[in-house]
Amino acid sequence: MSRGSRIALLAAAAVVLAATPAAGAALEAVAAPLESLYPELERTYQELHRTPELSSREQATARKMAERLRALGFEVTTGVGGTGVVGLLRNGTGPTVMLRTDLDALPVEEKTGLAFASRVVAKNEEGESVPVMHACGHDLHMTCWLGTATLLARAKDRWRGTLMMVGQPAEETGSGARRMLGDGLFTRFPRPDFAIAVHDNADLPAGQLSYTPGFALAAVDSVDITVFGVGGHGAYPHTTIDPVVIASRIVLSLQTIVSRENNPLDPAVVTVGSIHGGTKHNIIPDEVKLQLTVRSYKPEVREKILAAISRIARAEAEAAGAPRGPAVTVRDSTPATYNDPELTVRVAEALRRALGDASVHEQPPVMGAEDFSEYARAGVPSVLFWVGAVEPERFRGAAARGERLPSLHSSSFAPDPPRAIRTGVLAETATLLELLGRP
């Protein structure tokens, strides 16, 4: 990103702010140091990208976040819910506003070719050595989070209340938010009046923001099915009860849940992502294992789909004369992310004032999942919005050619840090100033 482009981004924000003097003056004053702060933020981003850590093992990452918050004057508590970090900046009477970032990375081998690409290899929960990469942009989230904390800490004369910075572990496994809540996030610390989070978006050019009122991301359930049969020689199938065939029938029958049992107006997904059974060409195994991901929004739709999965698996096994019914286990469940509609409108208006109508868009919900949903479920009005991650010229070129760009979780995913970081910091700062009290 050229110096001219950087100045243009901040100048565009300044033009918009000038049209809204009251809110604009506060944001313009608070965000004024952003350009001089940016080189440090870029170094932070590259350091975090080079040193990713897997879910629930973010010790070094959490330590970095805690040290930076302490240096800014926050009261910092570590080890919340495992490796979680909570930083409080108390600044008089006013609302308590929580800004969450996620800390963890993914077991992905990086193929971006970046000079600061991750070469980290770590042990996963099974004790296997796996490559690790920030393939979902959590390094970008942390960098924006630190930038925003820095701006707010330097401008305490512009707001009142308590800023609650939460560094959350294990977002990728859907367990971090629950663990932090279980460890007293909203009882040991001030219960926030509002909770805010951002996530980068690989389908949106950098410099752009998007939001979704109401349901924004889906609920996700991981379902394990073990189908039992009677194994034997592949040459004598009549002496066996083949679990491979039963499992295959289950896979096909599951497709009718969404297409024939679910209301088409209620989004849902049932995907069989893994099927394993057998060891050799001529051996019919005793069992086959299936792994499913289930996505939905409404609780009643989720319950209906999970019940249908169990019913279909049992029925196919019984029809084949299986020696016993299949084992169906639901685990790693994350509720749907629901953006409080009234709060979302308020935040969207603040974002438009900060960056202009042309840079802020409403978008449809997506079927991805986020355990940020747990905070709304705990009763705190919450909003998660999206920050564009793709370099704009690359985005336009790919659209013109009909080319698919790397998605989140791809080994080739690489955001556009200069624009995305600046936009993320401006957006978070504008949101916090909107929600915190005014002096």
Residue 17, pLDDT score: 41
Beta partners for residue 105, in sequence order: 54
Q: Which residues of 276-311 are buried (b: 16+ CB within 10 A; e: fewer)?
A: ebbeeeeebbbbbbbebbbbbbeeebbebbbebbee
Domain with CATH 3.40.630.10 in the chain: 3-217+336-435
Instruction: Count the Cβ atoms, other than its own, within 10 Å of residue 341.
Output: 12
R_g over Cα of the chain: 24
Q: Could you tell me how many helices (H) and strands (E) the chain has, helices first?
A: 12, 18
- Residue holding tokens 């924000």? 13
**What is the distance between the alpha carbons of residues 209 and 243, in angstroms, rounded to a whole number?**
49
Assign 20 a pLDDT band (cuts: 50, 70, 90): very low
According to DSSP, the β-strands at 75-80 and 194-205 are: unpaired
Which pLDDT value is given to residue 23? 54
pLDDT computed for residue 26 by the predictor: 81
Report the amino acid identity of residue 407: S
> Span 395-422, mean pLDDT?
97
238 touches 371 (CB < 8 A): no
Average pLDDT over residues 251-255: 98
How far apart, in whole angstroms, are the C-alpha atoms of residue 287 and residue 400?
A: 49
Question: Measured between alpha carbons, how far is 129 from 82 in angstroms, rounded to an integer?
Answer: 22
Per-residue pLDDT at 49: 98
| 3-state DSSP of 312-350 | HHHHHHHHCCCCCCCEEEEEEEECCEEECHHHHHHHHHH
Q: Could you tell me the two tokens for 128?
A: 């296997």
Whether the CB-CB separation of 220 and 369 falls below 8 Å is answered with yes
Looking at residues 69-73, what average pLDDT do you find?
98
Q: What is each CA distance from 55 to 45, 134, 325, 347, in whole angstroms? A: 19, 11, 34, 30
pLDDT value at position 16? 39
* Residue 22 pLDDT: 46
Residues in Cβ contact with 113 at an 8 Å cutoff, skipping those fewer than 6 apart: none
CATH number of 3-217+336-435: 3.40.630.10
pLDDT band with cut points at 50, 70 and 90 for residue 9: low
Quick one: which of 258, 266, 245, 263 has its CA closest to 308?
Answer: 258
Looking at residues 62-85, what average pLDDT do you find? 98
Indicate the DSSP class of residue 280.
S
**b/e map of 11-44 (b: 16 or more CB within 10 Å)?**
eebeebbeeeeebbebbbebbeebeebbeebeeb
* Residue 303: C-alpha distances to residues 208, 216, 217, 296 (Å): 36, 19, 17, 10
Q: Which of 218, 100, 98 lies closest to 167, judged by CA?
A: 100
Q: Which of 12-16, 102-106, 364-368, 414-418 has the lowest mean pLDDT?
A: 12-16
Residue 365 phi/psi, 5-degree rounding, is -65, 160
* ∠ CA 126-337-367, rounded to 5°: 70
User: Under a CB-based contact definition with an 8 Å cutoff, are residues 31 and 429 in contact?
Assistant: yes
CA pair distance 336, 376, nearest whole angstrom: 10
Check residue 25 and give its pLDDT. 72
Average pLDDT value over all residues in the chain: 94
CA distances from 284 to 84, 221, 320, 389, 439 (A): 47, 30, 15, 48, 74
Q: pLDDT (tens digit, 9 = 90+) per residue, 198-250? A: 999 999 999 999 999 999 999 999 999 999 999 999 999 999 999 999 999 99
Q: How many residues does the chain have?
A: 439
The position carrying tokens 């208006």 is 349
Q: Which of the four pLDDT bands, split at 50, 70 and 90, describes residue 5?
A: low
User: Considering the chain, what percentage of its residues have pLDDT values greater than 90?
Assistant: 93
**Cα(306)–Cα(272) distance, integer angstroms:** 13
The pLDDT confidence band at residue 131, using thresholds 50, 70 and 90, is very high
Q: Which helix (H) or strand (E) holds 98?
A: strand 96-102
pLDDT band, residue 99 (cuts 50/70/90): very high
Write down the pLDDT at residue 19.
Answer: 38
Fold held by 219-334: Alpha-Beta Plaits (3.30.70)
pLDDT confidence of 341, banded at 50, 70, 90? very high
Convert the pLDDT of each residue in 159-183 to its tens digit.
999 999 999 999 999 999 999 999 9
> What digits encode the pLDDT tens for the residues 262-318?
999 999 999 999 999 999 999 999 999 999 999 999 999 999 999 999 999 999 999
Q: Where in the chain is the domain with CATH 3.30.70.360?
A: 219-334
- Asked if 170 contacts 176 with a C-beta cutoff of 8 angstroms, the reply is yes
